[in-house]
Chain A
């Protein structure tokens, strides 16, 4: 067992057991026949022993074991609990605490615990005088009064609740900000400004408390690869880079199975058999690299292999067989063709294997990544390997959004996709395209897309957004989204939609405004793709 990563958990849990020991001993001193306390004490020592032995902290394990044995005898009523025993056990408790402190501070545990064990034996046999002399190594220190650990154990859900509360706070703040625009009072404006700063700081603190290093996720990969290799007779070396990149716990959690899936595909379909590798002049050992790094406020995780790459011709053939029109295939960029492996039922591998089936699941992987607000891209060079690029937000939940109005309704658009906002004469939008920096940008009417009536105005508001095309890849294009009006930028705490509302196309979340109104966050890629297809 790789123990180093369990150290924090060990320290925290041992600390709790030591507190339990102290409480139990103090109870037993008052009521020596309290069987429940004897049982509980026995279990505390037993747990400390087990954990310490697993971590390789032998003196701790041995000392706890000696106390566990003594409690077992008391439990079986072979000997009574006495004041001497209580005294000896309390001395041992201090010694245990000392040893645990050494563990915490990485001081070697080269200490002789035998005097404490001897003292326990003596106390059990009823010869009280032989209290242990303080050993040089384990200094006997008086318990330092009340001392709290500086590491706290908190349920992950507490952070979810905290974040939700800050989300609500953001909404209230947005309402106040709107009021402050109308107010002439400098005091009100100042107050709301400082309130905003404080809420932001609070939000930042909670987010960083939720962050975990990606290593927590990737450290299980070597074992996954080892098992996969055993199963298919390949030899693959895994390289991990940037494992200290920190991501929100919720994102990291949801990333587990997509990541394993990508790795499985890489080992199973990407990396060639040793014989095939030798034929193409590669070393027998394949290589998979998982590289994590941050790019602005996004996390990027690349999984690359040095295998055979994806055969795009084969992919096209399969797509043809599945009924993708030839004309569409001809106009597809290389990247779009590669993205076909994310279409259910398409895969470049002919063989179905136990490990990854027929590439089934890349569609699920893509969906999972996009569900997290991320994007998936594929790069592949035949004969040289494949690189799967996952781009993810570092944190969740609070999204910078722009309020837009269509008819009598308000909607939110994610700021991250917005390039600029234009006010133009409505007559200029009639052609369905608008020229921006010399290029024709297609226009869509949000009102039409949402089957709503729009306000007739002499001017139109065009929100220019980035659009990647339905497959999530290819060149980023600009699209103009025509709305009736736009309002404030707000930090919205976006709640996921629950069925049946989640079945609505075109909306990806909901937020409650400061005045209690629910407002939808629009799923722009979905709406734009649909409109461009239907020519709205």
Chain B
């Protein structure tokens, strides 16, 4: 069965782009959140297999959302999404529960490879 993904990014632009990359890559996008708080809420409600969190978001940023989702102890893999130059911040997220990260500008192949590399669910 297709893996179910929740996307969190404050720009529609990246949500649409990511949605397309994932859908054509055989994933099912089950929800989209526009900020970190929504992401945590939807993660609990939709129980996705994967959550992709943009780092810079209003209300709650991606790092805070990653921590919150980790605390929920859901069987979900967290993937951070960020711009070039923010890798150090992402490492903080990895320490607090994220499994991997992808870098903007988005490259479809890299995104799909990263998700494919998330290993057993």
Contact = CB atoms under 8 A, between A and B. Distances in A.
A50 interface: yes
A10 B56 CA distance: 18
Interface size class of chain B, counting residues whose CB lies under 8 Å from the partner chain: 20 to 34
A54 B58 contact: no
Contacts of B113: none
Interface in A42-60: 42-43, 46-47, 49-51, 53-54
A9 interface: yes
B12 A9 contact: yes
A175 to B, nearest CB: 42
B3 interface: no
Contact of B10 (A1, A6, A10, A43): A43
Interface stretch (A219-227, A235-243, A287-295): A219-227
A9 B24 contact: no
A460 B26 CA distance: 57
Contact of A46 (B12, B56, B108): B56
A536 B16 CA distance: 54
Interface string B6-24: 0000111110110011011
Q: Could you tell me the dominant secondary structure of chain A's interface residues?
A: helix
Nearest to B55: A46
A188 interface: no
B53 to A, nearest CB: 14
A1 B105 contact: yes
A441 interface: no
A229 interface: no
Contacts of B26: 227
B83 A46 contact: yes
Q: Give the interface centre of A43, A46, A224 by most chain B CB atoms within 10 Å.
A: A46
Given A1-B17, A54-B104, A220-B23, A47 B58 contact: no
Contacts of A43: 10, 56-58
Contacts of B16: 6, 9
Interface string B73-106: 0000000000110000000000000000000111
Contacts of A6: 13, 16-17
Nearest to A223: B24
A530 to B, nearest CB: 37
Contacts of B25: 223, 227
A13 interface: yes
Contact of A47 (B10, B23, B107): B10
A80 to B, nearest CB: 22
Interface string A1-30: 100001001100100000000000000000
A53 B11 CA distance: 14
B104 A50 contact: yes
Contacts of A227: 24-26
A13 B13 contact: yes
B9 to A, nearest CB: 9
A51 B20 contact: no
A51 B56 contact: no
Interface of A: 1, 6, 9-10, 13, 39-40, 42-43, 46-47, 49-51, 53-54, 220, 223-224, 227
Q: Which 5 A-B pairs have the closest CB atoms?
A: A223-B24, A54-B105, A53-B105, A46-B56, A51-B13
Interface of B: 10-14, 16-17, 20-21, 23-26, 56-58, 83-84, 104-108
Given A40-B58, A47-B10, A51-B13, 5 more contacts: A1-B17, A46-B83, A51-B11, A53-B84, A227-B24
10 contacts: A1-B108, A39-B58, A47-B13, A47-B56, A50-B11, A50-B105, A53-B83, A53-B105, A54-B106, A227-B24
